[in-house]
Structure 1
Amino acid sequence: MKGVYTVDDVQEILNVKRAKAYEIIRELNKELEEEGYTTLKGRVIKSKFESSYLYKNIQEIG
């Protein structure tokens, strides 16, 4: 199982347009870089995405 979300994953999970998904990934990756992590364009670590967008908690509640 992969430990990152791609732009397609973010787009599907949040039901946003592709440009918005890229914007979200850039934002999260910028935060990760400031924390000293290396990032990949167009991908974001699952744990960072889920903690920022509470996707895991919403899924458990819903």
Structure 2
Amino acid sequence: MSFYTVEDVKKILGISDSKAYQIIRKLNKELSNKGYITVAGRIPKKFFNERYYCDESELKAIVGN
């Protein structure tokens, strides 16, 4: 499974460190409420892409993964 880090979320959304951490915490809380184990400061790419409706090809150009 691949994860986005805070730096990746910052690049994708064009936001600050604190806002990126806030978004990751919110998304991880959603996953935790569904029974998934989460990692602080990281969010699964698939879940992030679903929640933010991101185009995979655009993300590869931004993040490079």
The reply to whether TM is greater than 0.5 is: yes
Percentage of pairs with the same residue: 46
TM-score where L is the length of structure 2: 0.82
4+ residue runs of structure 1 moved beyond 6 angstroms?
none
Cα displacement (A) at 1:38: 0.3
Measure the CA separation in 2 of the matches of 1:48 and 1:18: 20
Deviation at 1:34, TM superposition (A): 0.5
> When the two structures are superposed, what TM-score results if normalisation uses the length of structure 1?
0.86
Counterpart of 2:36 in structure 1 is: 37
Letter in 1 for 2:38: T
- Tell me the residue number matched to 2:24: 25
Work out the number of aligned pairs and report it.
58
CA positional deviation for 1:55: 1.2
Q: Which runs of 5+ in 2 are unaligned?
A: 59-65
- AA of the residue aligned to 1:9: D
SS in 1 for 2:55: helix
**Aligned-pair Cα RMSD in Å:** 1.6
Gap regions ≥5 residues in structure 1: none
